[in-house]
Amino acid sequence: MVFKKIRFLTLILACFLMSWGQASLAQEEYYSYDEVKSQLYEDLFGEEIKRSYDYKYWERKGKDQQKIVETGFKILNANKFPRNLRFVVNEEGSSKREINASALYLTGTITVYKGLLLYAENDDEIAAILAHELGHMQQLRTGFWPWKRIKMHFAPKFYEYDADLKGVDYMVKAGYNPIAMITILNKICPEKSALLKFLIFTARLKTLFMLPIDTHPTGSKRLLKVYNHIQTNYPGFLTEGKGSIIYNNFLLNHEKNEDIRKLKEKYDLTIPEEECENL
């Protein structure tokens, strides 16, 4: 009987040690996540991070928060924005991998998610992200706030277009190149498929009072409105994107626009044939 008890206790102890070892291993993997994060990004994004620039520059340098604050306040000061704001890089939870940014008017906070910073190539594109969110802040501070919230709820696309164009104005006043608004949006705004558009349309038919599930405009329309705004107000910048494969992609996908076609022909803003072959 004593022997059976000893054997039983030994079995329990062995199970405990095994489970403790597994828990320790899991914990060790969790805490070593930052060390293998670079490899994880390569697995997730493949060749995308092996472009001519460093998608993880700000994170790798450990200065992403510093850069966001510096750029944000430069735009605030240049535009004499009537309210100091807080600029934050999201560091917590799975949402930090989202390709997104947000503006919370009540707390005066603009948040940029880590996933979006992967796509920012330079200061101009960082400025484009923040200037767009400042556009939303400006929308919220004018007019009767409750009524404005209702309008933004039921007509969200108009306010996205408006924030893009306000953002371009803010960028130029702060000394940034507004072409960056085109390049960053072109990288993060893929065109929806016809199937997805149909599903969104049918979902909207169910009720008029549902939360918006398609809050952002079509990427191509959004980019074209930004281009037209730059052409009307800051035409001198339109040729400064020459050599950028992202800007050239925008021009290539909007050749039906007569102004863009003329611009390409006049300044030869095209991707070289040999470059196309390597894509």
Q: Give rounded-to-5 percent helix, strand, coil for the chain.
A: 65, 5, 30
Cβ-contact 130, 110 below 8 angstroms: yes
Q: What is the pLDDT of residues 199-255, one digit of tens each?
A: 766 666 655 555 555 566 777 899 999 999 999 999 999 988 777 889 988 998 898
Work out the mean pLDDT of the chain and round it to a whole number.
75
Strand partners, 90: 113
Angle between helices 123-141 and 156-173 (to 10 degrees): 120
Residue 273: the pLDDT is 56
Which has the closest alpha carbon to 137: 148, 153, 127? 148
| Exposure string for 111-121, b = 16+ CB within 10 A, e = fewer | bbbbbbbbbbb
Say how far apart CA 6 and CA 83 lie, in whole Å.
72
Strand partners, 64: none
Asked if pLDDT for residue 21 goes beyond 50, the answer is no
Mean pLDDT of the region 104-123: 90
Asked if pLDDT for residue 119 goes beyond 60, the answer is yes
Band the pLDDT of 155: cuts 50, 70, 90: confident
Question: Which tops the pLDDT comparison, 180 or 210?
Answer: 180
Residue 125: the pLDDT is 96
Mean pLDDT of the region 78-92: 88
Band the pLDDT of 74: cuts 50, 70, 90: very high
| Exposure string for 187-201, b = 16+ CB within 10 A, e = fewer | bbbeeeeeeeeeeee
Q: Domains of the chain: which residue ranges?
A: 51-278
User: How many Cβ atoms from other residues are within 10 Å of residue 241's Cβ?
Assistant: 20
Say how far apart CA 14 and CA 10 lie, in whole Å.
6
Band the pLDDT of 90: cuts 50, 70, 90: confident
